[in-house]
Amino acid sequence: MCAAMLTLEAIILGLSVPVMISVEDVPKGPALALGLGLAVLCILTAGSLRRPQAYVVGHAIQVGAIALGFLVPIMFFVGAMFAALWAGAFVLGRRIEDDKARWAAEAAEAEGDQPLPDA
């Protein structure tokens, strides 16, 4: 779920570049570096979510997306919205992983309680 959130966020961050340049008069260099840089970071992070460190990067991306609000004020709202979606996906994903581990332990315990069949 977190990978899906980061992928959607990458699209929005990429689309923020033209807004920064044409609407908010941010110079092209910083607009491209910030918008596309965060978008690429989202994609790279989404692909590496098997590692725990990637979640730390994901949290940092949320801070960066909100901080874009200093250049494009609407990004305060959009960044906060994606941060909330990220937090929800993160918490729900952890719950699902905990449930899977518990179910696997219960299944292993149930198998251990079964008598062995006679040969």
3-state secondary structure at position 51: coil
**Contact between residue 100 and residue 66 where contact means Cβ atoms under 8 Å apart:** no
Tokens, residue 19: 């807004």
Angle at 68 between CA 75 and CA 57, to 5 degrees: 110
Can you give the pTM of this predicted structure? 0.81
What's residue 110's pLDDT?
83
Only one residue has tokens 């040969």, namely 119
What's residue 119's pLDDT?
58
CA–CA dist 74, 108 (Å, integer) = 51
Render each residue's pLDDT in the chain as its tens digit; 119 residues: 899 999 999 999 999 999 999 999 999 999 999 999 999 999 999 999 999 999 999 999 999 999 999 999 999 999 999 999 999 999 998 899 889 889 988 888 888 766 656 65
